[in-house]
Structures are given as C-alpha cells and as structure tokens.
Amino acid sequence: MAPKLMNAIQYFRYGGGPAALKRVKVAVPDPKADEVLLKVEAASLNAFDWKIQEGIPRPILPRKFPYIPGTDVAGEVVQAGSSVKKFQVGDKVLALFSHATGGALAEYAVAKENMAVARPPELSVPEGAGLPLAALTAHLALTHAGIKFDGSGDRKNILITAASGGVGHYAVQMAKLGNTHVTATCGARNLDFVKGLGADEVLDYKTSEGASLKSPSGKKYDYVIHCAMGIPWATFEPNLSATGKVIDLTPGLGAMMKFAMQKLTFSKKQLVPLILFPKIENFEYVVNLAKERKIKTVIDLKHPWSEAEDAWSRIMSGHATGKIIIEL
C-alpha cells in the first residue's frame, strides 16, 4: 500500500535549469480506472524534458505548474485501477507518460494501462527505463523511412545525426536490423562508439567534412533521421537522393513552414516534421527487441535520486552518450 505523501521534484515556472528544480512532498496520485500506480524504480531523461522547462513548446506544454518532469520510468505496480486487466500488484513494468502531465521524477507515478509494458527479466531496471520515448521515436522515424526490421526490402542509404545520443543510438541499431547503409554523425570522442553500434560510416560533426554531411563513400541519402538541431536545409539538400527526405525529430515552426511550402510546390526532396503519437504495439515491439538483445540501452550515467539535479545538467549539456538514468 502506498503512503499518502511522496518525494518528488517539481519546477514552478519556465527557465532556471537545474537550480529551478525543487524537492517537495506532494500527495501520492490516485490511479483512475484505466491506470496503475507505480512505485518508481528508475526514470530516464530526454532532451525534450529540459526544452519544456525552457519554454520551447509554450504555451502548449506543460499543461500547468507546478510540474513534475519526465516521461520514462521503470517501476512496480502497487495499485491497479478498477478496469485494468493487463497488470496486477507486484508486476514490474516500463511506462511512458504524456508530456502534458509528466510525473517521472517522483517516488510514485500513475501510468495508463495502454502505455505500460511488462519489463522482461532479461532487462535491468536502468536498461528498461531508458527505452520508452527514445526507442519509440527511433522506431517511428525508421518505420516512416520504410525500414523493415527483418532485413527485407530495398536497400536504403540512411544518415543519422546526433547518433550517440538517446534517440540516435537506438536509431543506428534499429536501422542496421534493416537493409540499410548507415552514415552517422557524432562528436570525435564517440566515433568508435557509434561505429560499434553498427554504423557503416561515421562523421565528426565538428570537422568540415562532417559539417557538410557528405557520405565518405559518395552515397546520397534516401532518408535522414535528424536527431540534432541547427542544421539548415541547404546543408541537407545536396546530399539527398532525388526523392530524399529529412525526418526532423525536433521540428520547430521553421520546419513546419518548410514542410508546408515543399508540399505546395510538389518538391520531391522534403523536410518531414515528425511528432510521436505512441502506440502500445510499437512499445511492446521495441521492448522485445531489447529483450532479444537486438538493440541495447547504452547508459551515459546512472545518478542516485540525491543527484537528480546533476542528471538534469547533463541532459541540458547535450553531450550525453546514450541515456541518462535517475535511480530511486
């Protein structure tokens, strides 16, 4: 049985970085009929978490202040809503929360039954906690690119930017399950790491060659899985095949306008904004890939609850290799 109060981390306004994170005692949430209450064992941070704090998606997110950040957890079911059929008390699960409500950085959190998956015993708590948002985003982008994860289909040349990050490191691994040639970008210290994930070619984005995004083997990209920010369309365009697409995972207003303009002018080369609308079957699929060791969660650092602010600083730095985990 859960207590009435729990420890949580909240922020009360936009901005402020880790210094604005406040440790508070708040009421343990009550699960609705279609929800489970979880005792959180670990949470993972994603780049979008700090972007919400900085007000990049305002006024849409967060829904209200104060706000408990985070969307990805591994935990144990301590209470199940009246209509829940899939889980019972004691089950170990992975869950993805809505960005509108957040909730991961707390001792207890509620998850929708349709956004929770049993954690296989083959996956550790930190490995599982790293999966939800990042692995689902990578899966959606590659599916949009027509990649078949059984290795069938026409061969495609893929570029993955920021390939050593949370989404990027999953994207490289999943792309290589398909019939692909993968070129990837990252910083110099991660070149060997990204190569080890399976990338065929790796570019240091700080060199002139890397900044140009040109494939060392001269290939033109059928799809770009764009996990980074700040690269203009003019850099992508000459590196694309005749019908090449850039799938933008961090689209801003400019990307939306570019997409609309290219649609209006029937451009064959396109910038495609991608927003994740998660489906439980895809969540189950990526968890199964991890269970079968077809993909792995690479952990940058595991932070104890007492050092959650350090984890926040790390995700804001943009230099994490893989996933950042906070253990409770």
| DSSP one-letter string for 104-130 | -SBSEEEEEGGGEEEPPTTS-HHHHHT
Q: What is the DSSP letter of 67?
A: B
Predicted pLDDT at 255: 61
Provide CB contacts within 8 A for 36, sequence distance 6+.
77, 79, 80, 81, 84, 87, 93, 95, 110, 111, 113, 116
Give the confidence band of 275 by pLDDT, cuts at 50, 70, 90: confident
Predicted pLDDT at 289: 98
CA-CA distance, 282 to 132, in Å (whole number)? Answer: 10
Predicted pLDDT at 46: 97
Give the confidence band of 250 by pLDDT, cuts at 50, 70, 90: confident
Predicted pLDDT at 25: 98
Q: How would you classify the pairing of strands 156-160 and 323-327? A: unpaired
Helices (H) and strands (E) in the chain, counts: 10, 15
Give the confidence band of 259 by pLDDT, cuts at 50, 70, 90: low
Predicted pLDDT at 112: 98
Ranges for all domains in the chain classified under CATH 3.90.180.10? 5-131+297-327
Predicted pLDDT at 301: 95
The CATH homologous superfamily of the domain defined by 135-273:
NAD(P)-binding Rossmann-like Domain (3.40.50.720)
- Tokens 């306008």 belong to which residue? 257
CA-CA distance, 279 to 283, in Å (whole number)? Answer: 6
Share of the chain above pLDDT 90, in %: 89
pLDDT exceeds 90 at position 194 = yes
The class that CATH gives domain 5-131+297-327 is alpha beta
Ranges for all domains in the chain classified under CATH 3.40.50.720? 135-273
Give the confidence band of 14 by pLDDT, cuts at 50, 70, 90: very high
